[in-house]
Structure 1
Amino acid sequence: MAGLAGCATLPSSGPTGKQIEQSAAAPKDGSASIQLVQIHAMTDLPTPSTNVSPTDLLSRHADTPTDMVGPSDILDISIYEAGVTLFASSGIASQASQMSTPGVQVQKLPPTRVDDMGDITIPYVGSLHVAGLTTSGVETVIRKSLTRLSQNPQVIVTLSQTITNSIIIGGEVSRPGRLVLQTNKESLSDVIALAGGYRGSSKDLMARIMRGASSADVRINDIIEDPALDIRIHPGDRLMLVDDPRTYSILGASGRVEQVPFRRSSVSLAEAVATAGGTNPNLGDPAAIFLFRYVKNAKGQETPQVYHLNMMQTGSYFLAQKFVMQDKDVLYFGNAAANQPSKLVQLISQLFSPILTVTSAVSVIQNSNN
């Protein structure tokens, strides 16, 4: 009886189911009680978390044309003049710029960079503000500025290097760097493909989209299952592909204790229990399967919550198939209270086993001498 009274001090893989229920209802440290949900029916299962559309988290972005001009863009500017020309009389135009049509000359200006204020400088005109205009709009501004200086000038502007209509993509892609959007209708999966595709496993990759001061995360595997998450990418966005595998932890009296990565986008509790090797028949209690998780309340605050599943009941196996695991869940197999006396017997056996072995060896030696 004295030995049985000391069973509580024997080594254990963790608390029993009753101990977890008691500590959740009345924590010894005086903190608030933790909600414990008994899973008996489908209505007791937690609602699977729905993927929030990244567009709800990112700042609104107005549609922009593909040829919009902005700071740091490099422009190629060609000015055509007929008759007595401004640039020819000034010596700027070269012989190579002479066109076959008599009296018409073209002057191609050196590559012109749009400065940080959104301005460019044109000879004999000065500074012109062009940021936010399309290339055709820049042509109109330059042509009007030359009207009083040249006879019927015509201007052609093209984008040599595009910064405004581009994004930065990095992380787990084959070709990180600056990517120019050719249509301004490219989706998330489009730009990943244009960057050479992703590296690694899609189930472990998360795309982080940064737009101004806001950001949103999208898992690559979720895009495959829900095309609505394949949102449109806008100029100026920054995209980072991060290797961020989802995992859950297995603790307690299970067949194995470890951190397990998600093999697919969705893993059920039944699959997680099977991956853990089930309850250890020598230590665990199948009636004490617990899952620990943080959930968000109505105010958006994370609160701890515990779910209890009794695998000794037939219906629990069906419920476990509908219980969806989440990232960073902790699956705990409760320790069986009934195995404590057997532990005491094992401990006593381990203590006296060396003595019995020595006694047996001495007896054999004595018998052999006789």
Structure 2
Amino acid sequence: MTSGNFRWARLIVSIVLFSMLAACALPRSGPNKAEIYASSVQNQGDAFVVSVNDRVTRATAVQPALGFADEFRDAGMIGSDTINAGDRLGLTVWENVDDGLLSSGPVKQTILQEVQVDGTGFIFVPYAGRIRAAGNTPEALRRIITAKLEEQTPDPQVEVRRIAGDGSTVSVSGSVGAQGIYPIEAPTRTLSAMIARAGGIAIEPEIAQITLIRGGQRSKVWFQDLFRYPEFDVALRGGDRILIEADTRAFTVLGATGGQSRVTFNTQSLSVVEALAQVGGLSTNAADPSGVFVLRNEPQEIANQVLGRADLVGDQRMVYVLDLTAPTGLFLARDFAIRDADTIYVTEAPFTQWSKIVGALTGSLAAVGSVGTSASTLQGDF
């Protein structure tokens, strides 16, 4: 075979390889801008593609609203000495006679070390009978017992002591310094005070959420809001359960970025700029800064507002487009809020795909040249 034939063979092989590269999809991180726009509702697709502007930013700036229900906020403070079912009391009775109802001989004092308040709120005192203790203060209960005993012994003196009880307790669990069951006492009658009693939170305050469960009701609030809004520092009730846990919201980042992963929120609110910064920003070698997309299932109320419509029903697939190269692009990305389950996708620059084609083609031509050289060597040998 002559050298001219080999040159023609190389040219033909090159054309064939180039055609194959053009026809085949080269490796890439996802769809390009044209393909995303082609999937829009305007092009018979199933997603609305919307360019982000100030109006869109305001319409989509919705963050989870956390706060205690009125039932929690309107509950009054329990008195520090109020007796509750399950509490334990200490009683001492002095009688002004030698042979009393409860005492005899020279000892005129009777001590009842621990009297349990039963589940219905009553206690039993000898000769005074069954007395309701729950809801009373120790002083009020003292007067009630004294009045009962006066009917049978002259001028009795009664002392009632409230021992730290089992009834007025709350449980604190989750990300706290010391999980456990704690009594409601004078210094720990509010939510923030009880959390401090349990050693404080063990996670970043920015992402800490407090859930308060009372009977069949539950409400959740941001930890920092306990101090921003005094009405959220609610009064506690016996049997309350307090759960401290980290924010579970997360978003996903794909495409030409510093890292592709599922990322949890590290603040209560998060913008596109902050979200991209968490994964190392855009890839300087591959990203197209004019093709930053946020994919989201938007509730119908917000979708109608964004699109200026009123006929959409149910959640809508929305693709928000950010062009960071525009004069206000970075400002819009700084103001556009990311929400739970969002997907941020950054397209590759056209140059990146061209570089891949050139690289693949150059490698293929080198392989063809190697084959041609080998063929020439073999021809010379023969």
TM-score normalised according to structure 1 size: 0.78
| Counterpart amino acid of residue 333 in structure 1 | V
- Where do 1:345-364 residues align within 5 Å? 345-351=358-364, 353=366, 356=369
> Is 2:121 aligned against 1:118?
yes
Please state how far the C-alpha of 1:57 moved relative to its aligned partner: 7.5
| Alignment correspondent of 1:102 | none
Decide whether aligned partners of structure 1 residues 137 and 361 sit closer, same or farther in structure 2, where only a CA change above 3 A counts. farther
| 1:218 match | 221
* Counterpart residue number, 1:54: 68
CA distance in 2, matches of 1:63, 1:223: 16
Give 3-state SS (helix, strand or coil) of 1:86's partner: coil
Q: For residues 222 and 356 of structure 1, what CA distance do their matches in structure 2 show?
A: 70
Match of 2:35, as an amino acid? Q
Q: Which residue of 2 aligns with 1:231?
A: 233
Residue 176 of structure 2 corresponds to 173
- SS of residue paired to 1:198: coil
Partner Cα separation in structure 1 for residue 317 and residue 69 of structure 2: 29
Q: Are 2:15 and 1:12 aligned?
A: no
Q: Equivalents in 1 of 2:315, 2:136: separation in Å?
A: 47
1:131 corresponds in structure 2 to 134
Distance 1:117 1:356, change over 3 A: farther
Match of 2:82 in 1: 68
Aligned to 1:87: 102
Unmatched tracts of structure 2, length 5 or more? 1-17, 303-313
1:60–1:360: structure 2 CA closer, same or farther, 3 Å change rule?
Answer: farther
Q: Is the 8 A contact 1:266 1:325 kept in 2?
A: yes
Residue identity over aligned pairs, in percent, reads 26
Q: Distance in 2 between matches of 1:195 and 1:113?
A: 26
Aligned match of 1:101: none
Give, in whole Å, the separation in 2 of the partners of 1:57 and 1:349. Answer: 72
- Equivalent residue runs for 1:1-370 within 5 Å: 2-3=19-20, 6-7=23-24, 9-25=25-41, 33-42=46-55, 44-45=57-58, 46-49=60-63, 51-56=65-70, 58=72, 60-83=74-97, 84-89=99-104, 98=107, 105-183=108-186, 186-223=189-226, 226-228=228-230, 230-236=232-238, 237-244=240-247, 246-280=249-283, 283-296=286-299, 304-336=317-349, 339-340=352-353, 342-351=355-364, 353=366, 356=369
Partner-residue secondary structure (3-state), 2:234: coil
Contact 1:57 1:216 in 2 (8 A): no
How far did 1:314 drift? 1.4
- For structure 1, the 5+ residue unaligned runs are 99-104
| Secondary structure of the structure 2 residue equivalent to 1:82 | coil
How far apart in 2 are the matches of 1:142 and 1:356? 110
What letter corresponds to residue 328 of structure 2 in structure 1? G
| Distance of 1:125 and 1:108 partners within structure 2 | 15
Contact 1:248-1:329 at 8 Å conserved across structures: yes
SS for the counterpart of 1:307 is: strand
Q: Partner letter of residue 96 of structure 2?
A: A
Cα gap change, 1:155 to 1:36, in 2 (>3 Å)? farther
Report if the CA contact (8 A) 2:116-2:123 is conserved. Answer: yes
Letter in 2 for 1:156: E
Q: How much has 1:364 moved relative to structure 2?
A: 10
8 Å CA contact 2:191, 2:236 repeated in 1: no
Q: 1:73: how far off?
A: 0.9
Q: Deviations over 1:103-153 (max 9, x none)?
A: xx3211131111222222222344333223222332233223323222222
Count residues with an aligned counterpart: 350
Which secondary structure state, in structure 1, belongs to the residue aligned with residue 244 of structure 2? strand
Distance, in Å, in 1 between the alignment partners of 2:347 and 2:168 is 57
* Change in 2 beyond 3 A, CA 1:75/1:302: farther
- In structure 1, the residue corresponding to 2:109 is in which secondary structure? strand
The CA deviation at 1:87 is 0.9
Is 1:58–1:214's contact at 8 Å kept on the other side of the alignment? Answer: no
Provide the rounded CA distance (Å) in 2 between the counterparts of 1:217 and 1:353. Answer: 65
Measured after TM superposition, the shift of residue 362 of structure 1 is: 9.4
Cα 1:346/1:160, change in 2 over 3 Å: same
| Contact residue 37 and residue 44 of structure 1 kept, 8 A | no
Work out the CA distance in 2 between the residues paired with 1:44 and 1:71.
54
Q: 1:145 to 1:320 in 2, by over 3 A?
A: same
Determine the C-alpha separation between the residues in 1 that align with 2:204 and 2:72: 26
Distance, in Å, in 2 between the alignment partners of 1:221 and 1:360 is: 73
Aligned amino acid, residue 79 of structure 1: V
Deviates more, 1:336-345 or 1:185-194: 336-345
Amino acid at match of 1:107: T
Q: Does the C-alpha gap of structure 1 residues 78 and 304 become closer, same or farther in structure 2, counting only changes over 3 Å?
A: farther
Q: 1:195 to 1:27 in 2, by over 3 A?
A: farther
Partners of 1:309 and 1:316 within 8 A in 2: yes
Amino acid aligned to 1:87: L
Q: How far off its partner does 1:195 sit?
A: 1.6
**Superposed CA RMSD:** 3.7
Counterpart-to-counterpart distance in 1, 2:119 and 2:315: 44
SS for the counterpart of 2:103 is helix
Deviates more, 1:182-191 or 1:143-152: 182-191
1-structure distance, mates of 2:121, 2:320: 59
TM superposition score normalised by structure 2: 0.75
Which AA in structure 1 matches 2:41? A
